[in-house]
Protein backbone atom coordinates (compact mmCIF):
# COMPACT_ATOMS: atom_id res chain seq x y z
CA UNK A 1 0.00 0.00 0.00
CA UNK A 2 1.27 3.46 -0.85
CA UNK A 3 2.47 5.56 2.06
CA UNK A 4 0.00 8.35 1.27
CA UNK A 5 -3.01 6.03 0.95
CA UNK A 6 -5.31 5.03 3.80
CA UNK A 7 -7.82 2.20 3.60
CA UNK A 8 -10.59 2.21 6.20
CA UNK A 9 -13.45 -0.21 6.78
CA UNK A 10 -16.64 1.34 8.16
CA UNK A 11 -20.19 0.10 8.61
CA UNK A 12 -23.38 2.10 8.27
CA UNK A 13 -26.80 0.94 9.35
CA UNK A 14 -30.39 1.98 9.04
CA UNK A 15 -31.37 5.35 7.66
CA UNK A 16 -27.80 6.50 7.05
CA UNK A 17 -26.99 3.36 5.04
CA UNK A 18 -30.12 3.86 2.94
CA UNK A 19 -29.29 7.53 2.42
CA UNK A 20 -25.76 6.69 1.20
CA UNK A 21 -27.05 4.00 -1.16
CA UNK A 22 -29.71 6.36 -2.54
CA UNK A 23 -27.17 9.13 -3.17
CA UNK A 24 -24.81 6.69 -4.88
CA UNK A 25 -27.59 5.42 -7.13
CA UNK A 26 -28.75 8.94 -8.03
CA UNK A 27 -25.18 10.07 -8.80
CA UNK A 28 -24.35 6.78 -10.56
CA UNK A 29 -21.35 6.27 -8.26
CA UNK A 30 -20.33 3.72 -5.67
CA UNK A 31 -20.96 4.30 -1.98
CA UNK A 32 -17.18 4.40 -1.52
CA UNK A 33 -16.89 7.22 -4.07
CA UNK A 34 -19.66 9.15 -2.31
CA UNK A 35 -17.96 8.70 1.07
CA UNK A 36 -14.59 9.85 -0.28
CA UNK A 37 -16.27 12.93 -1.75
CA UNK A 38 -18.14 13.75 1.49
CA UNK A 39 -15.07 13.21 3.68
CA UNK A 40 -12.86 15.28 1.36
CA UNK A 41 -15.37 18.12 1.30
CA UNK A 42 -15.70 18.11 5.10
CA UNK A 43 -11.93 18.06 5.63
CA UNK A 44 -11.37 20.88 3.13
CA UNK A 45 -13.99 22.97 4.95
CA UNK A 46 -12.29 22.25 8.29
CA UNK A 47 -8.90 23.28 6.89
CA UNK A 48 -10.31 26.56 5.55
CA UNK A 49 -12.08 27.26 8.84
CA UNK A 50 -8.86 26.57 10.75
CA UNK A 51 -7.02 29.05 8.52
CA UNK A 52 -9.66 31.71 9.15
CA UNK A 53 -9.48 31.11 12.89
CA UNK A 54 -5.68 31.33 12.87
CA UNK A 55 -5.82 34.64 10.97
CA UNK A 56 -8.31 36.15 13.40
CA UNK A 57 -6.96 34.70 16.65
CA UNK A 58 -4.32 37.33 17.31
CA UNK A 59 -3.24 38.89 20.56
CA UNK A 60 -5.55 41.74 21.51
CA UNK A 61 -8.45 40.51 19.39
CA UNK A 62 -11.88 41.00 20.94
CA UNK A 63 -13.67 37.80 21.99
CA UNK A 64 -17.34 37.85 21.00
CA UNK A 65 -19.52 35.14 22.52
CA UNK A 66 -22.75 33.98 20.95
CA UNK A 67 -26.00 34.03 22.90
CA UNK A 68 -27.41 30.79 24.20
Q: What is the pLDDT of residue 66?
A: 84
pTM for this predicted structure? 0.73
Quick: pLDDT tens for 33-54. Answer: 999 999 999 999 999 999 998 9
The CA distance from 37 to 31, in Å, is 10
Amino acid sequence: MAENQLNVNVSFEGELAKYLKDIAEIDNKTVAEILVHLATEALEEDIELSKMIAERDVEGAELIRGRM
